[in-house]
Every structure is written in structure tokens, then in C-alpha cells.
Amino acid sequence: MQRLRSSDATFGAAFAAVVNDRRESDAGVANDVAAIIAEVRARGDEALAEYTARFDGHLLAGENWRISAEECREAFDALAPDLRAALELAAQRIRTYHEAQLPEDRDHIDAVGVRLGAKWRAVDGAGLYVPGGRAAYPSSLLMNAIPAKVAGVERLVVTTPTPKGLVNPLVLAAAHLAGVDEVWRVGGAQAVAALAYGTQRIAPVDVITGPGNAWVAEAKRQLFGVVGIDMVAGPSEILVIADGANEPQWIAADLLSQAEHDPLAQAILITDDAAFADAVEAAVQSEIALLPTAAVAKASWDAHGVIIVVESLDEAPALANALAAEHVEIATSDPEALFADIRHAGSVFLGRHTPEAIGDYVAGPNHVLPTGRRARFASGLSVLDFMKRTSFIAVSEASIGAIGPAAIALAEAEGLAAHARSIELRLGI
């Protein structure tokens, strides 16, 4: 764990190193993924079966390629009542929040009589990648599937690895609750390739979303353009801006809520109170000892954890904007004052009683967020990731007379005679 002070002469260089620490995949991963994509594109199901046997220790044959809707319903029905209620509450709040994101069509006639507008339509099919193993999270399935359904996607396909043939029943229950149409027992970069290009069994989709490991993220990056993607996600991040009036144990737990995801995750604290920084650092060690995920959380904190002590919290927004973190907590007496200057963040959590973890499950906004400083130009997953906008124009005989000559002039200036002529003919020129 690094400890930095903004007043130190070396702070600028040390902070720049933190900002530029990408913690993402290397060229070896890119080469491996390119080979996997090529094999799936060329050999389809045969390649999927080989990769699944090699990486998941599971043989795909006959009916076991898919998990049926009935199996998903049974998993949901088998949930303990309190857990079923928790999933239903999360789904309801996620759905309500995302319904408010639905865009409106536009249709109007301007001052010269030209009809202009746009229609929003959902993509035909969306693929959701749901990790297996350490990162098998039903919450992520809800966060990806519900916006797609709200958008109006007709075919919603889940691919998920099932190591040794085992599947997380909570994931199946979430798939039932969200209304997923197909669930396939394939994972890794090969699943992303199958969703993009299609195989003999799996029909291609138009958009692929969902978290995954470095190979999954790289496959999405390489296949962008063949399909749409939500984003190229890297390891999780949290930045906590906190004053000394907080409970150190709370802030320590908040930092570890992301550190426990991945040894490459990053947790950063900015505070103006050096004694509070000491207390949080000690509380992190105490909290780690209590966690079943202690090994992962400790590896992340030791390698990538950072505590920054500033002279004043007025410095924090500029540092936060440089980091452009996935999650930003502002645990101060007046969070709005700092929030007003936060320009780059995936999602912001305001006040001492708003831990990032509440946003992961039941708050409503999406927890699929840009990482690796991509919050400078990207947003969290929304219904718009599953929709596209088609503009339309209707020009009357009178209105082409009003705007056509300008279009002719521009076409001639660009040397595009056919463009100009298509308008000239209508104007009788």
C-alpha cells in the first residue's frame, strides 16, 4: 500500500504513476484471444466443445449445451424466501430506474417546412456474458438483463461457464426473474466469439455486454464492430473521499468491498486528516482478517491500495477527475460541495450512509461501470446500450427550394457532381 501526501515535492510524479497504472491484460492475452476467435469463427460448435473441455473440464453433448427455462424456474422456486425477496427487490428497483431512461422519439417540422425526427428501436438480440467461478454474480445478470428487457430486446442470450458442469443456482434464478430467453454452458473468449459470429447452435446477437476476466474483456475489444459492446472492463476501482468525522472501520470496509473482487483491483482513500488515515489503514488490516476473501483483498490492497493525505479536501475533486474512477464515494459533512466539481466518475455515492456496495445490489442505477480511467469518456450501462436511433427527413417541394441551393453549393465545393445533380434535377436547374 502506498501512502502519499499532496504537500510532498515528489507527490506529482507519484500520483501520476497511480493514475497511469493500467493493471490490464498484456499482448500475450491479445494473441491468445485472437487465435480463439479465429477457431470459433472457422469451426463453430466443434471449437466451443474443445475449449469447454479444456478450460472448464465439462463435455458439451446433446441437450447439455443449454440450461432450460424450466431449470432456471426451479432454481428460483428453490430459493430461501428472504433471498428470493432480496432478488425481487433488486430487480424491481433496477427496472424502475432504467424505465426512466427510455428515450423519446422526435418528430417535428422546422421553420422552412422540413420534417425532421428520430425513432429509437431496440436491437434484435443481445448477448450477456455471466462469469463463472469466483465472479458468478446474480446481481450482474440482473444489471445487464433488465435494461435489455426494458429497452425491448426480443432475444436475450446468456453464456456462462460451468466448471466441471456445475452452475450457480443463484445465476439461474436471476435469469428466470429477468426473463432471459437462452442460457448456454459456454464461457471465456470462445463464448464472446460465438455470440458475435454465431455457430451451428448459437445464433449471433447484435450487442454483447457483461463482465469477465482479461480474456473476455479482450475478446469484446477485438470483436467491437462485428457487434456492439457495453465497454472493455478492467479490474474494479474505488476512490473514497472522506473527512476525519467518519468511522474508520466503515471506510476500511468500503475500500475492501472492491479489493476483494480481484488482486488487480484498486482502492484509494483521499482524506485531509492524517490521524484518520492512520486509523483507516489499521482498520483495513483488521477487516481483512475477518473476510473469507482475505487472500484476494490483501493482495489487492498490498499491491494497489493508496492513501492520499491532502492539505484540504478542496484538492480532492481535481485528483478524482484525474483518476476518473469507476466508483467514487464522498463521505463528508457536505458531499454536494465536492460532487459539484466531480466531472469524471462511473458512479458517485453521496454521504456517510451510502456505501458503494448498496449500488451493487439494490439502489437501482447500473453497477456496470467504466474502469481504467474510461469514465473520462464513457458512462455506465443503460437502456441506450441496447437501442439505436434512426433519424428521418421529409423534404417538400417548397422546402427543397429553400435549402437545396446551399446543398448544391457544398456538393460542388467538395467535387461531388452527382450529389449536386440529384438536387438540381428536383429544382429544375
- Residue written as grid cell 439505436: 388
- Sign of the alpha-carbon dihedral angle for 25, 26, 27, 33: negative
φ/ψ of 389, rounded to 5, equals -110, 130
Domains and CATH numbers, the chain: 2-24+234-363 (3.40.50.1980), 27-229 (3.40.50.1980), 395-427 (no CATH)
This prediction has a pTM of 0.93
Ramachandran area for residue 133 (φ above 0: left; ψ -120 to 50: alpha; else beta): left
Candidates 327, 329, 344, 367; catalytic one: 327
d(CA 37, CA 258): 31
* pLDDT by position in tens, the chain (length 429): 999 999 999 999 999 999 998 777 677 899 999 999 999 999 999 999 999 999 999 999 888 999 999 999 999 999 999 999 999 999 999 999 999 999 999 999 999 999 999 999 999 999 999 988 656 789 999 999 999 999 999 999 999 999 998 888 999 999 999 999 999 999 999 999 999 999 999 999 999 999 888 899 999 999 999 999 999 888 999 999 999 999 999 999 999 999 999 999 999 999 999 999 999 999 999 999 999 999 999 999 999 999 999 999 999 999 999 999 999 999 999 999 999 999 999 999 999 999 999 999 999 999 999 999 999 999 999 999 999 999 999 999 999 999 999 999 999 999 999 999 999 999 998
For the chain, the first-to-last Cα distance in angstroms comes to 74
- Any catalytic annotation for residue 326? yes
Candidates 326, 329, 344, 356; catalytic one: 326
Whether 159 and 184 have beta carbons less than 8 Å apart is answered as yes
d(CA 264, CA 29): 16
In this structure, what C-alpha cell is assigned to residue 79?
430459493
- Residue written as grid cell 479465429: 38
71-87 core/surface letters (b: 16 or more CB in 10 A; e: else): bbeebbeebeeeeeebb
- Residue written as grid cell 489487492: 300
In this structure, what C-alpha cell is assigned to residue 144?
445487464
d(CA 354, CA 64): 43
- Any catalytic annotation for residue 412? no
